[in-house]
Amino acid sequence: MIGPLRTAAELDALAPAAPARRAVVMTMGALHEGHATLIRTARSLVGPEGQVVVTVFVNPLQFGAGEDLDRYPRTLEADLKTAAESGADAVFAPSVDEVYPGGEPQVRITAGPMGELLEGASRPGHFDGMLTVVAKLLHLTRPDTALYGQKDAQQLALIRRMVRDLNFPVEIVGVPTVREPDGLALSSRNRYLSPEERHTALALSRALFAARDRLAAQVALRARAESAPASNARAAALSALGEARAAADAHAVAAAQPGGGADAVRAAARAVLDDAAKSASPLVLDYLALIDPADFSEVADDHTGEAIMAVAARVGTTRLIDNIPLTFGAAS
C-alpha cells in the first residue's frame, strides 16, 4: 500500500523524469470501482514508465448550505489500498490548510453561463468552487493528462472549457460511466441508500435507458420508412382487412420523419420517473433535461446530432445524478 503525500513539496519531490508523463485522477475519496477504472485508464495512457497521481480532497468550496460536507465519507486507508491496487504511484491527500493556506480564496474561477444551468441552478456556487479547486490541483500536480468520469457530465464539460479558455497545458480525458450490474451508476453517495431507497434509485438509470431505447425505435422506424414508400397504402389495406396491430405498425412507419423526435425521447424517460415518484420510498425529481453538450441548453424536438440526457433526483436524503449520451439523426 502506498502512503499519502500531504504537501505540495512532497509531491514535487516525486515528479517523474522527462520524457515520462504524469496523469492525475482527482477524487474526493471514498473510492469505488468507478474511480478504479479512472486510475487503470490513466495507467494505460502514461504507460509503465509514466506516473499516476490520485488526489483525495473533500473540497469545502463546492458544498452549499445544507449539503453533506460533514457527513461526506472519508475512508483514506481504504482509498490508499484501492489506488495502489488500481495502478497509482502516489496519493496526494492535502489538508484544507495546504490547499487554501490563507483561508477561503478571495479570487476564484467563475463557471460562467453554463455553470448556472442544471446542477448549477440546483447548487448555486457549486461549479465555481469545483473549478477553483481543479485549477489549484492542476497547478499543484502539474499533469500532462487529467481524467474525469462522464457521470459528472456538466463538471467534465466545464473543466474542458476552463482548460481551453484559460490555456492550461493539460489534456482532459473523459471516461465512460461505470455502473452496477443492475444499472445504477456508481457513486460514493450510494452507500447512504437503504435497500428500499436503492430500489427506487434504479429509476434514474431505467429512465435513461428508456430514452435510449425510444430513440433506437425511432431510428428503426425511419429506416423502415425509407425502404417502404408505399406504407400509407399498405396501412389502409391492413385496416380494411381488420389487421389492427399490423395497420398501426404500418401507420407508424408511414409517419416516421427523418431527424428529431426529442420530445418523445424525453417523454419515455419521464414516464419511468413519474412511476418512481409513487413508490414507497419516492423519487423526488430535481431535473430531467435533454441537452446540447456544447452549452447544456435544452434541445428542440427537431434536434439532430449529439445530445445528453441528464437527470438528478433525491431518494430519501440522498441526491443522485446520472446521464447518458444520445445521437439524433436521420436513418441511413
| Catalytic residue set | 35
What one-letter code names the amino acid at 311?
Answer: V
Query: What 8-state DSSP symbol labels residue 2?
Result: P
Query: At residue 173, what are phi and psi to the nearest 5 degrees?
Result: -120, 125
How far is the C-alpha of 150 from the C-alpha of 284, rounded, in Å? 23
Query: What 8-state DSSP symbol labels residue 123?
Result: S
Consecutive H or E run containing 323: strand 318-328
How far is the C-alpha of 69 from the C-alpha of 61, rounded, in Å? 10
Residue tagged 436524503 (cell numbers): 317
How far is the C-alpha of 266 from the C-alpha of 262, rounded, in Å? 6
What cell does 222 get? 425511419
How far is the C-alpha of 83 from the C-alpha of 121, rounded, in Å? 33
Strands 90-92 and 22-27: unpaired
How far is the C-alpha of 152 from the C-alpha of 155, rounded, in Å? 5
Residue tagged 420510498 (cell numbers): 281
